[in-house]
Structure 1
Amino acid sequence: MFYKICRSICYLVVILFWSLKIKGENIDNYKGPIIIAANHVSYLDPIIVGISVKRPINFIAKKEVFDVPILGYILRKLGVIPVDKKNTNPTSIKKTITLLKEGHILGIFPEGTRSLDGKLLKLNSGIIKIALQTNAPIIPIGL
């Protein structure tokens, strides 16, 4: 319920201030587990991806954003998974695998950080390992 409320609010804000055009295959046609892999150019990227897909998305985010008082609370309520970029956390990996095996959508920005010039950065290989363990298709999104 919390996810639907936040998604609706974000959708209204985005369509009021920006023009959103979605091209290509409709992700909503996919059933079962999906890994959405998007490039990362803005702080708004998770919001844009989240409002573009009807099913809830469990995003991965660096653990430091959970330390921001109100934002951290909201991210936890939305089911965002914290990851430590410096140390591999088996608990986070296990949680992503469990969510996918339960048929959920995982949202990831495989570059691991925002690209300040819009060019694609080196991708982290963790997404491939998770996809192989869960048989979840990786759906690329360009922002």
Structure 2
Amino acid sequence: FVILNHQSALDPFITGAFWDRHIAFLTKSTSFIHWLPRLLLRWAMALPTTRYQTDPQIITIMDTLFKRNTRIGIFPEGERCWDGKLQAFKLSVVKILMSSREAIYPLVIQNTFKFWPRWATFPRRAKIKITIAPPFCLVDNYFSIDEQRQFLEDYFRDILQETDQ
């Protein structure tokens, strides 16, 4: 898995441009309604998922992609932020990460919120920074889901603080 904070609609495209392997990002299905975003999202290997409900089909698709050596991109916050700050991670995402036993590659992306905030119509100038942290795995036998979520959130906050200096 590739996990990263979500500041802008362009995060998957920016990340894909700097990563050496294909990343298929989980994307809300409503993003595929209009033809232009649908075309761009399909080009970027986005996977449509339903929000706020269980989507068992996506687990099967993710297993198939793992077998093809494709990384799955997930935004643990579940949606773009409104203020540029890290949001709480979704428990459902942490459960997926724990149960998969796959390597997790954390990426911390900065300033895409300044580049194109969620509420803005057009992008602006901003210097974007991506920090790739060492990979790790979450172990489901020793720590609770809440402890794992807290670990992930703290991990991201620590990287954000280190790179802001």
Common fold by TM > 0.5: yes
Normalising by structure 1, what TM-score? 0.68
Residue 103 (structure 1) aligned with residue 76 (structure 2): no
C-alpha spacing 1:77/1:50, structure 2 compared with 1 (3 Å): closer
Aligned to 1:64: 30
Aligned to 1:8: none
Aligned-residue sequence identity (percent) comes to: 34
Aligned to 1:84: 50
Provide runs of 4+ in structure 1 moved above 6 Å. none
The separation in 2 between residues aligned to 1:78 and 1:116, in whole angstroms, is: 24
- The answer (yes or no) to whether the contact 2:76–2:94 under 8 Å persists in 1 is no
Normalising by structure 2, what TM-score? 0.60
Deviations 1:44-86 (A, max 9, x none): 1111111110211111100000111122133234321111112
Amino acid at match of 1:47: F
Aligned to 1:118: 84
Equivalent residue of 2:85, what SS?
coil
The separation in 1 between residues aligned to 2:10 and 2:46, in whole angstroms, is: 15
CA RMSD of aligned residues (A): 1.7
The separation in 1 between residues aligned to 2:14 and 2:42, in whole angstroms, is: 19
Residue 43 (structure 1) aligned with residue 9 (structure 2): yes
In structure 2, list runs of 5 or more residues that go unmatched: 110-165
User: Quick check: 121-130 or 53-62, which moved more?
Assistant: 121-130
Larger radius of gyration: 2
The separation in 2 between residues aligned to 1:110 and 1:91, in whole angstroms, is: 19
User: Quick check: 73-82 or 48-57, which moved more?
Assistant: 73-82
Amino acid at match of 1:107: G
In structure 1, list runs of 5 or more residues that go unmatched: 1-34
- The answer (yes or no) to whether the contact 2:26–2:73 under 8 Å persists in 1 is yes
